Amino acid sequence: MSEAFSGPLERLDHSRWRIPRSYKPGMRVDGIIYADDQLIEQIRSDKAPEQVANVACLPGIVGASLAMPDIHWGYGFCIGGVAATDPDAGGVISPGGVGYDINCGVRLIRTDLSRADVQPRITAIVDQLFQTIPCGVGRGGRVKFGQADLRRLLAEGSRFVVHKGFGWESDLEVTEAGGCLEHANPDFVSPRALERGTDQCGTLGSGNHFVEVQVVDEIADPQAAAAFGLQLGQITLMIHSGSRGLGYQVCDDALKDLRNVPARYGIELPDRQLACAPVKSPEGQHYLGGMQAAANFAWANRQIMTHLAREVFSGIFRRPPELLGMRLVYDVAHNIAKLEPYEVGGRRRTLCVHRKGATRAFPAGHPEVPAAYRHVGQPVLVPGDMGRCSWVLVGQPAAMEHTFGTCCHGAGRVMSRTAAIAAAKGRSIEKELLSQGIVVRAPNAKGLAEEQPAAYKDVSLVAEAVHASGISRKVARLRPLGVIKG
């Protein structure tokens, strides 16, 4: 990874550390990092805190430049970074605050199956998932859309593919934003991006994307777990993917288009990777409309993969997915910028909230929490590495007070991909995981080496840090039984 951070990190309490705005010229607000004593030592060894300070220089930023415990170095913003800007005060939108994989996100499907039902068939399940859901760099799938349908998909998101037969109406009720950002503008998506998206909806992609068969092995909050339909010994399925080549191209196009825009608006930046435009400017609106269209593509992508996974389970267990109880618990984005209302300085303001490697965490009673969960709060899905576990959390009121309704999104890398490959030399990650009872399939050994468990922080430490901070509460732990990786 990059060299260590040499700036100040002042302890605020047991779970928060401050980079004071006096640290560097141009900082408009403090930087605040959520971490415990153990995690902060890992965080100090990386230059990601410098990016937290850089983000604090953005025009119109409100409150603080924030980072979650899974923070690590990224493009422009750190991964795990959160920033809210006020469009009415010249606040900007920055593609670096969203990332290349727009609306990379996670969805969790519960089942009525037990570990005893699945364990004898786990190899067959993983093999069939691997054959059915396309994985790997640039890989297309069996579902293809013509230009007219693709443009409708970009405008309508998950709803469009559900109405095409890829899923259930009930899926939309438990997808963030109903699986559609309504102001998406397909006209702001380039022909090259459209071309890349033609056959990639319903595909996993590469890198850290996965489909994972899991078992619930700990319940920390029985009330929330019951609301989410989770219980001990139950099998769940987690899907992690995003907007594929289409989203990457939307980001790439925007970074080129915005290269000289900050100077045009008199904006000085400490890092050109923070290229941005005022939200209300024509350039800002163009990126926002294209980004929202790519976000809709990502929701449709995960929705089609949900349908494919249900088909796999239905074929193996010879029962329709409805009778297997394969209900979507929730789908949440973790690379996105959204316009949301917050109380700031005693008045209601609509802010542009950038969440890059960070996920929404709304509490009980919030109008955007699905009706079935409104009495407990929004599910927060926090995947870990393929050798340890993942966590389901639930949003808490403190998130609205301190983090613009935001929580962590995963474990966070501690080892670069290059370092991970070097560390795996002479080893078989697949065999190591199999010795733990975890069946893994991937297009090649290199991908498994990059994604080996040692490349990540322990997600349980990350979950405990946000639990202790009060922004989310632990609900259930999920252990992997089988994984397909991109």
Contact 301, 255 (CB under 8 A): no
Q: What pairs with residue 33 in β-bridges?
A: 17, 67
- Is the backbone of residue 165 left (phi > 0), alpha (psi -120 to 50) or beta? left
Contact 257, 283 (CB under 8 A): yes
- The residue count of the chain comes to 486
Contact 419, 462 (CB under 8 A): no
**Does the annotation count 409 as an active-site position?**
yes
Distance between CA atoms of 134 and 132, rounded to whole angstroms? 6
What kind and span of H or E run contains 15?
none
Contact 365, 358 (CB under 8 A): no
Phi, psi for 247 (deg, rounded to 5): -65, -40
Helix boundaries (H) for 328-406: 397-402
DSSP 423: H
Contact 34, 24 (CB under 8 A): no
Q: Which two tokens stand for residue 71?
A: 């923070």
Helix (H, G, I), strand (E, B) or coil at 112: strand
Catalytic residue among 307, 334, 354, 409: 409
Catalytic residue IDs? 409
